[in-house]
Structure 1
Amino acid sequence: MSARPASTTDNRHVAEPTRPHAAPITLADVDERLQQGLDASLRQAAQVDDRFVQLWQALRSGIGGGKRVRPALLIDTFTALGGPEKHREACIEAAAALEMLHAAFLLHDDLIDGDLLRRGRPNAIAEFSARGNAHSAGAGSSWGLAAGTLGGDLLLSSAIRRLAGVRVEDRLRDQLLDEFDETIHLSAAGELADVTQSLISDASQSTGRLSAADAGVSPLEPTRSTVQQTARPQSRSTVPAQTSSVPPLADEALCQIEQTLELKTARYSFVAPVRIGAMLAGADARQISNLSDMARHAGIAFQLTDDLIGVFGDADVTGKSTKVDLQRGTRTALIAVAQHTAVWAELETMIGDPTLDDARAARARDLLNACGARAAVELRARDHLRLSRSLLEDESLPPRLRDCMQAHLDAIAGRQR
């Protein structure tokens, strides 16, 4: 995630409280609550040993920074729906819990991908790998893996405990915990699907064909929401039409990627924040359903745009090289489409090559343009945003909320490339 939401900053938010005397909730409130929890964990770790303190220090460093997209969405939803003052503290705690969940997922994701950097800094895995190597040659890898696994588990446990401690009615707390549990469940399924698709892709690059069955996605319903299949009634929202500029198999592959993005990231980064914010505000079932669908499409659009930025973005703006995804062979939406086009025979010689230089990377981008992959992904991102905006027109949603969510969608549409 690389874009700050338009409607929330560190010390203010756009959606003003409906009650004139209610104190506004800010991202600074969430950061303060996070630090209080981390300080408590450090004190607890100090009662064990220095190594455990070092692990929590590394975890605290990893939580610092970031754009706080999830807390912003939760707070803005709660505020724009006129959330009651009695749930103000619960809103802050829930936002902090979501950010801690995000940190846990990032660390486990780094562990799976073998990444040692996060936001340009060494993560907990890298820090403990270095300590292990300093202690004994060759020990760093095992120590780093242990730190990443245990650290992610600790953050996950802390996130759940924080949400379980919110002071709300018992029934509402149960609903929040059910939402959190489902979010974790589906995000894990998305991570597994992502890894599976990458492995199947590696094994089948010579043919350019990905088995949907092997990837765990039904080819019979490529555009139906996986989340809806597993946990939600059929949505009233529609899905983007087939992208006519690419072959049918490429369009099917793109649908599979979208389903994985929905599960792995959109569910916890967009859907869960607005649902939890709406629950705390006392929204009705129709409002929550509309917000869920809106957020689902917004999250997919955000991640598709992320794939585009990763290859065609401006490194001076994003701070990330546009060769990284190509060098690593990341099976982004762009690659999923290109695998089923005539350029793949040449393109696959460049994808996954860690020595890829600027000239060959430029050639790869030219091929992704020529085969229609870039246009297809851009079209799908725009379509998901269009669907997201249309869902905000439902009469059950108050104008204040529509304006607030439109600001978030505008931020996605206007992300720097």
Structure 2
Amino acid sequence: MNHEQGEAPVDRAARASGWRARLDVELDRFVADGLRRSTEESADTHELWQQLGRTGRGGEKLRSTLLFAAYECCGGDDDEVVARVGAAVELLHTALVIHDDVIDRDVVRRGSANVSGVFADTARVRGAREEGAVTLGVAAGILAGDLALARAIHLVALCGADAATTRALLALVEDAVRVSAAGELDDVAAGVCRATAPTLEQVLAIAEQKTAWYSFRFPLQAGAVLAGAPGATVDQLAEVGRLAGIGFQLADDLRGVFGDESDTGKSALSDLREGKFTALIAHARTTAVWNKIAPHIGDASLEARAAETVRELLQCCGSRRFVEGLAEHHLTRAEETAERIGLDPALLTELTRHSRRIMRSTAA
């Protein structure tokens, strides 16, 4: 499965750079086409495309990097085709992120107003009442996500692969969206239906559905399918992606509570205020201090001082340490599984370095 051993590292780096450049061209073309067409529609539509373009820019492009790495490991050599599928992977991520912000009622992303936040602020400037401003923000977020999702499917359908490969890729896209939707719904239900709190096992299942499937499993499998890898290899990569994705989500849950706002670009209060039922909370429910933590979880008026008390309790009762260990366990198993099936070490690095960096950034 490994790529040719004789290829010089500089060539691999140059090829990766070429993929990224082609991917950026596809993403820029998508936004440029939308902006051009929107000039015949309305100022709000034009602004929607501008905000959609801003949302998709930047970031480390983790998902397309995993796609490229799996494609190369499995011997793929069509740079144009994989770049189009890579752009589709990133647009799927953009769509789900925007929709997730709408569901969570977040109006900030990476430290500045997101699509919903920008349109809600615009409505207020125009004199809209608060309810109307929120409604416009929600509508803009839903529509922007829909546009990105439609283009992602379009790119896969016309990526240039043969018919059988294209059908297999479209099936992976459909599965990723279907499973992510199920995980998102279960996650919201866990947050609002407090009387039926999920177990740790259920929380991990939600993490697999909501994050691991589309962010790790899907791009790894898509890269292998696009390269013509055997079905057994595609299945093995699914397990690697599942383990790495759960580890990533656990690390991200830690960041949501213990992370530095200047690094995360997100309020350190939002997860606690929204009552997100993460592994941290699932574990804390089993400890003697839960009765002190419980009143603050889901408290929309939670202030910084009370949040700090919650963090101290989560640390003292061992919940933080438990989740750190659980995340490390999943990441290590992902690496071991990948090594066992002969994946390139470079791919292992991409699978785990982001999650471990998140955990280091939350260290006390």
Q: Above 0.5 in TM-score?
A: yes
Equivalent position of 1:119 in the other structure: 110
User: Structure 1 residue 269: deviation in Å?
Assistant: 0.6
Equivalent position of 1:66 in the other structure: 59
Match of 1:269, as an amino acid? S
Equivalent position of 1:219 in the other structure: none
The CA distance in 1 between the partners of 2:9 and 2:327, in whole Å, is 25
Equivalent position of 1:166 in the other structure: 159
The CA distance in 1 between the partners of 2:346 and 2:60, in whole Å, is 21
Aligned with 2:94 (options 93, 103, 107): 103
Please give the TM-score of this superposition, normalised by the length of structure 1: 0.78
Equivalent position of 1:187 in the other structure: 180
User: Structure 1 residue 160: deviation in Å?
Assistant: 0.7
- Asked if structure 2 preserves the Cα contact closer than 8 Å seen for 1:328 and 1:353, the reply is yes
Equivalent position of 2:120 in the other structure: 129
- Asked if structure 2 preserves the Cα contact closer than 8 Å seen for 1:30 and 1:95, the reply is yes
User: Structure 1 residue 259: deviation in Å?
Assistant: 0.7
Aligned with 1:392 (options 338, 345, 349): 338
User: 1:338 aligned to 2:292?
Assistant: no
Equivalent position of 1:293 in the other structure: 239
User: 1:149 aligned to 2:95?
Assistant: no
The CA distance in 1 between the partners of 2:93 and 2:72, in whole Å, is 22
Q: How does 1:294-373 map to 2 (within 5 A)?
A: 294-315=240-261, 317-373=263-319
User: Structure 1 residue 350: deviation in Å?
Assistant: 2.5
The CA distance in 2 between the partners of 1:316 and 1:151, in whole Å, is 26
- Asked if structure 2 preserves the Cα contact closer than 8 Å seen for 1:93 and 1:162, the reply is yes
Distance 1:321 1:149, change over 3 A: closer
Deviates more, 1:404-413 or 1:184-193: 404-413
Q: CA RMSD in A?
A: 2.4
| 2:295 alignment partner, SS class | coil
The CA distance in 1 between the partners of 2:298 and 2:200, in whole Å, is 19
- Asked if structure 1 preserves the Cα contact closer than 8 Å seen for 2:165 and 2:225, the reply is yes
User: 1:405 aligned to 2:351?
Assistant: no
User: Structure 1 residue 26: deviation in Å?
Assistant: 3.6
Distance 1:14 1:39, change over 3 A: farther
| 2:340 alignment partner, SS class | coil
Segments of structure 1 that go 5 or more residues without pairing to the other structure are: 1-12, 213-252
Aligned with 1:379 (options 288, 308, 325): 325
User: Structure 1 residue 327: deviation in Å?
Assistant: 3.4
Equivalent position of 1:241 in the other structure: none
The CA distance in 1 between the partners of 2:298 and 2:192, in whole Å, is 13
User: Structure 1 residue 131: deviation in Å?
Assistant: 2.5
Equivalent position of 1:30 in the other structure: 23
- Asked if structure 1 preserves the Cα contact closer than 8 Å seen for 2:221 and 2:238, the reply is yes
User: 1:42 aligned to 2:35?
Assistant: yes
- Asked if structure 1 preserves the Cα contact closer than 8 Å seen for 2:66 and 2:347, the reply is no
Equivalent position of 2:207 in the other structure: 261
Distance 1:190 1:152, change over 3 A: same
Distance 1:336 1:157, change over 3 A: same
User: Structure 1 residue 161: deviation in Å?
Assistant: 0.8
Distance 1:200 1:269, change over 3 A: same
Higher helix share: 2
User: Structure 1 residue 354: deviation in Å?
Assistant: 4.4
Equivalent position of 2:3 in the other structure: none
User: Structure 1 residue 267: deviation in Å?
Assistant: 0.7
The CA distance in 1 between the partners of 2:112 and 2:277, in whole Å, is 24
User: 1:91 aligned to 2:75?
Assistant: no
- Asked if structure 1 preserves the Cα contact closer than 8 Å seen for 2:112 and 2:265, the reply is no
| Number of aligned residues | 351
| 1:392 alignment partner, SS class | helix
Over the matched positions of the two proteins, sequence identity in percent amounts to 35
- Asked if structure 2 preserves the Cα contact closer than 8 Å seen for 1:77 and 1:277, the reply is yes
| 1:155 alignment partner, SS class | helix
The CA distance in 2 between the partners of 1:184 and 1:318, in whole Å, is 25
| 1:393 alignment partner, SS class | helix
Match of 1:88, as an amino acid? D
- Asked if structure 2 preserves the Cα contact closer than 8 Å seen for 1:15 and 1:79, the reply is no
Q: How does 1:183-262 map to 2 (within 5 A)?
A: 183-201=176-194, 204=195, 210=197, 212=198, 253-262=199-208
1:122-180 CA distances to partner (integer Å, 9 max, x unpaired)? 12212222232333422322222221222211111111111111111111111111111
The CA distance in 2 between the partners of 1:17 and 1:326, in whole Å, is 43
Distance 1:79 1:17, change over 3 A: farther
The CA distance in 2 between the partners of 1:175 and 1:144, in whole Å, is 36
Aligned with 1:283 (options 229, 237, 256): 229
The CA distance in 1 between the partners of 2:278 and 2:10, in whole Å, is 34
Match of 1:184, as an amino acid? V
- Asked if structure 2 preserves the Cα contact closer than 8 Å seen for 1:17 and 1:82, the reply is no
The CA distance in 2 between the partners of 1:133 and 1:274, in whole Å, is 43
User: Structure 1 residue 358: deviation in Å?
Assistant: 4.2
